[in-house]
A = this chain, B = another copy of it.
Amino acid sequence: MTQPRRAAAAPIPDTEVPAPSEMPSPGRMEAFSDGVFAIIITLLVLDLRVPRLTALHGTLGAALLDQWPTYVAFTLSFLQVGVVWSNHHTMFHYIFRTDHKLLAYNLLLLMAVAVLPFTTAVLSEYIRGDDAQRRLAAQIYSGALMAVGVAFNAIWQHPLNAHLVHPHSDQHRLYALRRHWLLIPVLYAAAFALAFVNVYVSVTMYIVLLLYYALPGPFVLRRVTAWQARKELAA
């Protein structure tokens, strides 16, 4: 009548396990986000299609080159999502407790990120279109990144207010990061508006912003501080 497996489930001693905190560590939120990011970043690989040998008109090289907007879209989208992931990684490095609000904001961020491959593909297809198409494509692209930026700031502002960051974090860095990320929605709103004037200004901004946010943390700020420190030392 003995059931060894059930027996093992007897209540374990009181001292062994602490009560679960009401504010769990962000481990599982990071794991879920990483899964979503991993899928989104590879999404446009699905658009790389091998032309069938039997259906080929002209050379293979020409057929492959003909798909160039797909390659551009894949590369841009991969880099753009990669940069968002890398900033998400920086952000959660300082967060060590979560609550329900943080979880909700993070889901909204993931939803905004999920449309980036789509908006990137629209832009890379219609940059070859007429003026109106080009402008609309740029504004859709700006809009998605504005939404990403707003969600980013919601995520980051909340832990600062609700004491969810590591208690020993460098406060200067936390607020430098806030300024750093606060600029994202502002700058993409500017790119949105500038698309009415000249789409190529907006596109240039996308590339500059992609590269800037690929740099570690508040890069410029860090360099300015270091330069001031050197100047003071020299004086």
Spell out A's residues near B (CB within 8 Å).
1-6, 8-12, 14, 16-24, 28-32, 34-43, 45-46, 48, 50, 52-53, 59-61, 64, 74-75, 78-79, 82, 85-86, 89, 92-94, 96-97, 99-100, 103-104, 107, 110-111, 114-115, 117-118, 121-122, 125-126, 128-129, 132-133, 136-137, 140, 162-164, 166-170, 214-217, 226, 229-230, 233
Task: Report the separation of the CA atoms of residues A89 and B98 in the bound assembly, to the nearest whole angstrom.
Answer: 12
Q: How far is the CB of A136 from chain B (nearest CB, A)?
A: 5
Closest to A13 in B: B167
Q: How far is the CB of A19 from chain B (nearest CB, A)?
A: 3
Task: Report the separation of the CA atoms of residues A45 and B118 in the bound assembly, to the nearest whole angstrom.
Answer: 8
Q: How far is the CB of A38 from chain B (nearest CB, A)?
A: 3
Partner of A40, one of B42, B132, B136: B42
Q: What 17 new A-B contacts, CB under 8 Å, besides A48-B115, A60-B126?
A: A1-B233, A10-B163, A17-B166, A19-B166, A30-B31, A32-B38, A36-B41, A39-B42, A41-B110, A42-B114, A45-B114, A48-B118, A52-B125, A53-B129, A75-B111, A79-B107, A82-B107
Chain A interface main SS type? helix
9 contacts between A and B (CB under 8 A): A2-B226, A20-B96, A35-B35, A35-B38, A39-B39, A59-B132, A82-B110, A86-B100, A86-B103
